[in-house]
Amino acid sequence: MEFTRDIYWNVGHGAWTLIPMYLLAAGAFYVLVKAFVKRVAVYRLGLPLERTDQPGVRLRRMFARMLSQKKVIRVQWPGLLHGLFFWGFGLLFIGTVLIVIQADFTDLFFGVKFLKGSFYKIFSIVLDLAGFVCIVMLGGLLVRRYFFPPEGLETKKDDAIMHAILLVILVTGFVIEGARMAVTELGTPLAAWSPVGLVIANGMSGIGEQSLLGLHKGTWWLHLFLVMGFFVLIPFTKFRHILTTSANYFFEDLGPRGKLVNIDLEDEDAETFGAAVLKEMTWKDIFDADACTLCKRCQDRCPAYNTGKPLSPMKLVNQIGEAAFTSPDANLIELIGKDVLWSCTTCRACEEICPASIEHVSKIVELRRSMVLMEGDFPGEEVMSAMEAAEVNGNPLGIGYAERGEWAEKLGIKSLAEDSEVDALYFVGCYGSFDRRNIAVAESFVKLCQTAGVKLGILGKEEKCCGEPMRKMGNEYLYQSLAVENIERINSYGVKKIVTTCPHCYNTLAKDYRDLDLDVEVITYTVFLENLIKSGELKINAEDISCTYHDSCYLGRYNDIYDAPRSLIAAAGGTLVEMGKNREESFCCSAGGGRIMAEEKIGERINIERVKMAVETGADVLLSNCPFCLTMFEDGVKGAEVEEQLRPRDIAELLVDRIEYTNPGKREKK
Amino acid sequence: MKILVCIKQVPDMESKFKIDAGGTWYEKTDLAWRMNEYDEYAVEQAVQLKEQVKDADLTVLCIGGDQVKETIKKALAMGCDRGAHIADDDSSSKEPFEKAGIIAEYAKDKGFDLIFTGMQSQDKGSAQVGILAAEILGMMSVSTIVDFSYSDGVASLKRELEGGVKACVTASTPLVVTCQLGLNTPRYPTLPNIMKAKRKELLSLPVADLLKVDSRQETAKIYFPEKKGGGLVLEGEVAELADKLVKILKEKTGVLA
């Protein structure tokens, strides 16, 4: 027998089928496009933002992300369900397109049929299984949402409509196939190539042929109406994510990760800074809400949300979109709430995990900019004082600027003003320069470099805060003042390489400072030390220690530096017990987003939560690579009353204890 | 309404101080400079008054070298309308009466309804300039205010006294007030105001034109306090120790009134 089937069997291939079918399709398509055009007008309430450059790169990314579903299946439950559903539906869609191509074009006009033979067999079984997988996956998702919903999952009427229409479309698909097979394929070898349809056909074998024909034809038209209904529903329901989320992959930020947009402070005509209303946000900020499917993966990982602060990244993103469509003149700061906006630590856990490539952090900073720059508003008086201290003394701690380089004197490190012939400028940062606990880390790093024969110089009293906490709090003006001063000094000494022990300084000098004319290579100390060990210039003795390691947000999620610190711990002989939330899932210490300057007044203390996670590993030492993290963990260990169990240390301190000196008598045991 | 606020640029108190070569003041190198804290309260109150009255012109005055212009700009960014820089590279060697004289000379023909100053400066701490200026001008003055409200030519004030007690005072303009901690929380200048401040009038007047009085005092010498005696170790039972400690605090220090 021929392995094929008569497309439009029983329904009829004449004008009475084709014309209504194509008219319906055209009508549905028209409604779809018109509704989207209306939505685009709302996106355009926002400011322009260039996200169509390098279209080739963008398109490749978009298709890769869409087809692989990589971001979705990253969280396997329920991501894999969606992934399989997507692929199944994709195959069904391709299958339908092939049928249309043959039935309404190649066969109709040229008598060419390709859905036959081996190709048809594969076509048949693939689509059969795809449909079945879709129903099972959709069923799983439905059961999860309506019977075992995870905490925080919002279910709306929207969801019920979506589940219902897709389920009925899929089921009617099989009813049509079953009815057809019951009449034309039962007992033939072709039936085995549609195993699911075969089960249904067998179930229908008791029904008379006339009834089967009627059932088949009726269900076929029902199925068509439902599919057209589905197209029409796309712009009006969460279905729109099929288009908007895919588009969001295209519109992703190709720039350095986490680099904020620079405000042009020279612009004499600028009347407002930051955003307080929609027309001051960008179109992307409104569009992101349309791409959101309320999966709440961001909320699940937000350190603020999970310790009782009112911030939910998901809610914030959607509030902006909602305002755009319902009350475009609303004051967004009042709508969202100041406490919500101040709670963010810019840890990027939300953006890292978001399967729709939504950008949460820049929205929050833009709104903060309006609060700070337009109102002089801060989360607390202590933050205003820290800002003023940074203006007066170049550091938020308020310590006299002239003392900044004093910690280095006894180590023989000179400032560039005294000697600018150095291998690298060590940009120490405020905590490494002034905070006793972190000076110990700076000293450790310097000793490691000196042992390896690297000549470092510092800016000393010419160094100012990199400006990052101020920038993340919204004080763009103070950030740029500090940055410009630092860059002028760095450039005046002809520095070729900068190394930092603070990830915030690292991220800012390596990315944000590029907008302000710093072109020097910037390297973080973990990578710097790893290179020295690999090249043999620095020798470390392995000495066992039970430890766990905290991936800082600004080295980890912002820069994907997860392995270098681990190789340092391995070189030091550490027995590393990983915390559950590690690498990209690391739980912020709470000091980012400028919050190192602020007091934590709402909910539970984030740093104590993280210390508890470290204690659970049973390790003796909690290693980190950031002065903010170290400060927060020293405090957290006291707060959680685990001072006897867990000791916070920086990786540099671990290594300096294990330096292999050529003269063994020199080694100090700590 | 015309308002004047007088401010001083002082070193940040976290700086490490050294005595200068002459032994009569501190060495000016390696210091971070800022507006005198008490003058911040004065500027804030003056700006709040201007916002209340609406039809008011607020001048900020500062004596010192070119570097004080930065501090004047901050006051302008907080909301003052115009700046008067009394150019004097040698201001730190002038004594309070001279400074009061300069201010009075500047203010005498301008008809200010209210003059705000800080209660004292963080570096010299003489607490005299505002009051002396008022006396030279023949104006009423009220010092150490921690509360200020104004209506129709009458200011209602609260002065801070010992032991947390406050004195309620009403005074009619023209009036000089000196401001104390607790009066208000100085605002953080907004960026649009910082930018506008760059274009506000800032006139520099040579100090020689305004110094019409002679000095009446001179700083002989300044020095760090000598390190005296050692510590005192108390011994005994806890209750006994507590009593001894309270006695010492009461008699030997001003910690317990």
User: What CA–CA distance (Å, rounded) separates A614 from A577?
Assistant: 9
Interface test with B, best of A272, A393, A404, A478 (most B CBs within 10 A): A393
Q: How does DSSP classify residue A373?
A: I
Across all residues in chain A, what is the average pLDDT? 95
Task: Tell which residue, A119, A137, A130, A63, has the closest CA to residue A92.
Answer: A130
B224 in reach of chain A (CB within 8 A)? no
Do residues A292 and A314 lie in contact, with contact meaning Cβ atoms separated by under 8 Å?
A: yes
ipTM: 0.89
B187 in reach of chain A (CB within 8 A)? yes
Bridge partner list, A650:
A624
CA angle B106, B37, B57 (to 5 degrees): 40
Instruction: Write out the two tokens for A536.
Output: 């043999």
Residue A663: pLDDT over 60: no
User: What CA–CA distance (Å, rounded) separates A119 from A122?
Assistant: 5
Residue A74: pLDDT over 70: yes
Domains, in order of start, for chain A:
15-41+54-250 (1.20.950.20), 278-375 (1.10.1060.10), 381-533 (3.40.50.1860), 538-656 (3.40.50)
CA distances A327 to A34, A44, A331, A366, Å, are 21, 15, 9, 19
Please report the pLDDT score of residue B257 as a whole number. 61
Instruction: Write out the two tokens for A548.
Output: 């766990």
B12 in reach of chain A (CB within 8 A)? yes
pTM to 2 decimal places: 0.93
pLDDT tens figures, B161-173: 999 899 999 999 9
Cβ distance of A477 and B192 shorter than 8 Å: no
Task: Tell which residue, A401, A339, A399, has the closest CA to residue A364.
Answer: A339
User: What CA–CA distance (Å, rounded) separates B79 from A626?
Assistant: 40
Query: Which residues of A lie inside 8 Å of B (Cβ-Cβ)?
Result: 265, 268, 271-273, 372-376, 378, 381, 384, 387-388, 392-394, 398-403, 461, 476-477
pLDDT tens figures, B108-147: 999 999 999 999 999 999 999 999 999 999 999 999 999 9
Instruction: Write out the two tokens for A403.
Output: 């003392």
Do residues A444 and A402 lie in contact, with contact meaning Cβ atoms separated by under 8 Å?
A: no
Residue A191: pLDDT over 50: yes
Report the residue from A373, A394, A400 with minimal CB separation from B191.
A373
Kindly give the interhelix angle for A195-203 and A157-184, rounded to the nearest 10 degrees: 80
Task: Tell which residue, A439, A416, A655, has the closest CA to residue A526.
Answer: A655
Q: Domains of chain B: which residue ranges?
A: 2-209
At A472, which amino acid appears? K
Please report the pLDDT score of residue A411 as a whole number. 96
Average pLDDT over residues A621-648: 97
Q: Which residues contact residue A77 at a Cβ distance below 8 angstroms, ignoring those fewer than 6 apart? A: none
Report the residue from A374, A376, A393 with minimal CB separation from B12.
A393
Instruction: Write out the two tokens for B212.
Output: 């019409």
Residue A665: pLDDT over 80: no
Please report the pLDDT score of residue A1 as a whole number. 67
Interface test with A, best of B10, B13, B14 (most A CBs within 10 A): B14
Find the helix or strand (DSSP H, E) in which B99 lies. Answer: helix B96-107
Bridge partner list, A623:
A549, A649
Do residues A622 and A653 lie in contact, with contact meaning Cβ atoms separated by under 8 Å?
A: no
Q: How does DSSP classify residue A406?
A: G
What are the phi and psi torsion angles at B34 (to 5°)? -160, 170
Residue B248: pLDDT over 70: yes
Residue A666: pLDDT over 70: no
Average pLDDT over residues A127-141: 97
Please report the pLDDT score of residue A670 as a whole number. 45
User: What CA–CA distance (Å, rounded) separates B182 from B204?
Assistant: 32
Instruction: Write out the two tokens for A575.
Output: 């027995």
Average pLDDT over residues A252-278: 92
Cα-only R_g, chain A: 31
Backbone conformation region of residue A194, classed left if phi is above 0, alpha if psi is from -120 to 50, else beta: beta
Cβ distance of B192 and A393 shorter than 8 Å: no
Counting one residue from chain A and one from chain B, the pairs whose CB atoms sit within 8 A come to 54
Cβ atoms < 10 Å from Cβ of A236? 14
**Which residues in chain A touch residue B47, judged by CB atoms under 8 angstroms apart?**
none
Cβ distance of A402 and B33 shorter than 8 Å: no
Cβ atoms < 10 Å from Cβ of A496? 11
B30 in reach of chain A (CB within 8 A)? yes
User: What CA–CA distance (Å, rounded) separates A584 from A572?
Assistant: 23
Residue A430: pLDDT over 70: yes
Cβ distance of A393 and B194 shorter than 8 Å: no
3-state helix, strand, coil split of chain B in percent (to 5) is 30, 25, 40
Do residues B114 and B5 lie in contact, with contact meaning Cβ atoms separated by under 8 Å?
A: no
User: What CA–CA distance (Å, rounded) separates B248 from B205?
Assistant: 53
CA angle A390, A340, A383 (to 5 degrees): 15
Please report the pLDDT score of residue A226 as a whole number. 97
User: What CA–CA distance (Å, rounded) separates B4 from B137?
Assistant: 13
Instruction: Write out the two tokens for B117.
Output: 């100053």
A46-55, A340-349, A393-402, A653-662: lowest mean pLDDT where? A653-662
Q: Quote the percentage of chain A above a pLDDT of 70.
A: 99
At B198, which amino acid appears? K
B25 in reach of chain A (CB within 8 A)? no
The alpha carbon of residue B134 is apart from the nearest alpha carbon of chain A, in Å, by 31
Please report the pLDDT score of residue A378 as a whole number. 98
**Which residues in chain B touch residue A415, judged by CB atoms under 8 angstroms apart?**
none
Cβ distance of B192 and A376 shorter than 8 Å: no
**Which residues in chain B touch residue A381, judged by CB atoms under 8 angstroms apart?**
185
3-state helix, strand, coil split of chain A in percent (to 5) is 60, 5, 35
Report the residue from A272, A393, A461 with minimal CB separation from B14.
A393
Do residues B116 and B90 lie in contact, with contact meaning Cβ atoms separated by under 8 Å?
A: no
Instruction: Write out the two tokens for B238.
Output: 């806890």
Task: Tell which residue, A454, A431, A432, has the closest CA to residue A537.
Answer: A454
**Which residues in chain B touch residue A271, judged by CB atoms under 8 angstroms apart?**
192
At A109, which amino acid appears? F
Q: Which residues contact residue A271 at a Cβ distance below 8 angstroms, ignoring those fewer than 6 apart? A: B192
Task: Tell which residue, A302, A321, A322, has the closest CA to residue A312.
Answer: A302
Question: With bands split at pLDDT 50, 70 and 90, how would you rate the model's confidence at A144?
Answer: very high
Q: Quote the percentage of chain B above a pLDDT of 90.
A: 88
Please report the pLDDT score of residue A267 as a whole number. 85
Cβ distance of A402 and B30 shorter than 8 Å: yes
Find the helix or strand (DSSP H, E) in which A432 lies. Answer: helix A430-434
Residue range B2-209 forms a domain whose CATH class is alpha beta
Q: How does DSSP classify residue A47?
A: B
Residue A664: pLDDT over 60: no
Residue A48: pLDDT over 90: yes
CA distances A440 to A526, A568, A627, Å, are 16, 18, 10
User: What CA–CA distance (Å, rounded) separates A476 from A484?
Assistant: 12
Q: Please write down the HEC assignment for all residues of A447-483.
A: HHHHHCCCCEEECHHHCCCCCHHHHHHCCHHHHHHHH
pLDDT tens figures, B181-222: 999 999 999 999 999 999 999 999 999 999 999 999 999 999
**Which residues in chain A touch residue B14, judged by CB atoms under 8 angstroms apart?**
393, 398-400
User: What CA–CA distance (Å, rounded) separates B111 from B109?
Assistant: 6
Average pLDDT over residues A313-327: 97
pLDDT tens figures, B228-246: 777 788 888 888 999 989 9
Cβ distance of B191 and A374 shorter than 8 Å: yes
User: What CA–CA distance (Å, rounded) separates A3 from A319?
Assistant: 54
Burial degree of A184 (CB within 10 A; 0-12, 13-18, 19+) = middle
Do residues A622 and A611 lie in contact, with contact meaning Cβ atoms separated by under 8 Å?
A: yes
